[in-house]
Amino acid sequence: MSALVLAVLLSLVSAVAYAAAAIVQERVAASAPSSAYAPVRRPAWWGSVTLNGLGAALHVAALAYGPLTLVQPMGALTIVFALPMSAVFIRRRAGATAWRGAVMATAGLAGLLALTKGADAGAVAMGPRLVLAAAGLGAVAALFVASRALHRAATRSVLLAAAAGSAFGLASVFTKSVAEDWQSGLPAAELPILFAIAAFALAGLMLSQASYRGAGLAAPLATVTVVNPVVAAAIGLTLFGESFRYGTAGTAIALGFGVVAAGGLILLTTERLNAGRRTGPAPALAAGMPAAPGAAGRQEDTPDQTATPPALR
């Protein structure tokens, strides 16, 4: 088996593991909405953490055998795998709008990443990296605070997912920088960056868990899947000296792919908002949950608990 074929296989299994983790996270969020960020008492949630770890390990292994321009775009298949997997395992079918949005987001992201050229991430001094870490933490915190002011579950989840994707993207950037420095021996000065990686990874995990609360699977997962590499690519372009292939023409095409990906996210969010309008407060009543005072007047989506497998309750 050639190294390229092995990289493709590892990338595919990695995407399946990420998709399975997202499905479990969404089901845990639907069945335990009071534990939005870290439902540590739920065995199923720890299963999702394990699946995320497996996906990350397989992704790193794929990068060892194949080029970044091949492996990174294949990570966008996570949302494509997640939709049919959720239909098979938890009997939740995605509508035509969700499928169109997922395909657009995946195609836009794959095209954007395919046009990005790599650079030496270890060439940036420690000072700018620490500034980037502080700015990144501030941006993630700002997105989280903004999400707290929203009442619609779909729009709130997109902001939380954007915060999670940003955190994961920043963790990837700093992991790359540490990996570059590791070749010549890891100096003690890298310890702050290691702490930053841990902080961003933990924040991404908790925020992604919260993003699934009352928002379904497709929109939060697509947002994380797109925002993660876009943030990493943007930092690479501005800080690490990365660039797009084919000069000005490549940059213009990459911007077009970015518009396609953004359009896919808009479709996914719109599909979820329309679903919330159609169902209103009915899902909560159908599941035997008492309606909160004034619930009929709120436009926040209610988590669907009717399809939750017993193992995840």
**pLDDT tens per residue across span 219-245:** 888 888 888 877 877 777 777 666 677
Residue 302 has pLDDT above 70, yes or no: no
**Which one, of 99, 71, 52, lies nearest residue 219 by Cα?**
99
Alpha helices of 280-301 — where are they, by DSSP H?
282-286
- In the structure encoding, which two tokens stand for residue 62, read together? 């794929």
Rounded distance, CA 284 to CA 280, Å? 9
Q: Are 42 and 28 in contact (CB under 8 A)?
A: yes
**Which range has highest mean pLDDT (206-215, 238-247, 286-295, 300-309)?**
206-215
Rounded distance, CA 237 to CA 231, Å? 10
Give the range among 46-55, 64-73, 103-112, 185-194 with minimum mean pLDDT.
Answer: 64-73
Mean confidence (pLDDT) of the chain: 75
Rounded distance, CA 230 to CA 236, Å? 10
Cβ of 206: how many Cβ atoms within 10 Å? 18
Query: Per-residue b/e over 296-310, b at no fewer than 16 CB within 10 Å?
Result: eeeebbbbbbeebee
State the pLDDT at residue 143.
93
**Which one, of 256, 289, 126, lies nearest residue 196 by Cα?**
126
**Which one, of 256, 254, 264, lies nearest residue 112 by Cα?**
254
Region of 238 on the Ramachandran plot (φ > 0 left; ψ -120 to 50 alpha; else beta): alpha
Banded pLDDT at 66 (limits 50, 70, 90)? low
Query: Per-residue b/e over 218-243, b at no fewer than 16 CB within 10 Å?
Result: bbbbbbbbbbbbbbbbebbbebbebe
Rounded distance, CA 226 to CA 258, Å? 9
Does residue 302 or residue 256 have the better pLDDT? 256
According to DSSP, the residues that pair with 244 across neighbouring strands are: 116
Tell me the whole-structure pTM to 2 decimals. 0.70
Residue 155 has pLDDT above 50, yes or no: yes
Banded pLDDT at 169 (limits 50, 70, 90)? confident
Query: Per-residue b/e over 257-271, b at no fewer than 16 CB within 10 Å?
Result: bbebbeebbebbbeb
- In the structure encoding, which two tokens stand for residue 169, read together? 């993207």
> From the CA atom positions of the chain, what is the Rg in Å?
20
Banded pLDDT at 137 (limits 50, 70, 90)? very high
Banded pLDDT at 141 (limits 50, 70, 90)? very high
Segment 269-286 mean pLDDT: 52
Helix (H, G, I), strand (E, B) or coil at 54: helix
Residue 148 has pLDDT above 60, yes or no: yes
Does residue 237 or residue 82 have the better pLDDT? 82
State the pLDDT at residue 36.
63
Does residue 55 or residue 110 have the better pLDDT? 55
- Give the chain's length: 313
Residue 35 has pLDDT above 70, yes or no: no
According to DSSP, the residues that pair with 117 across neighbouring strands are: 243
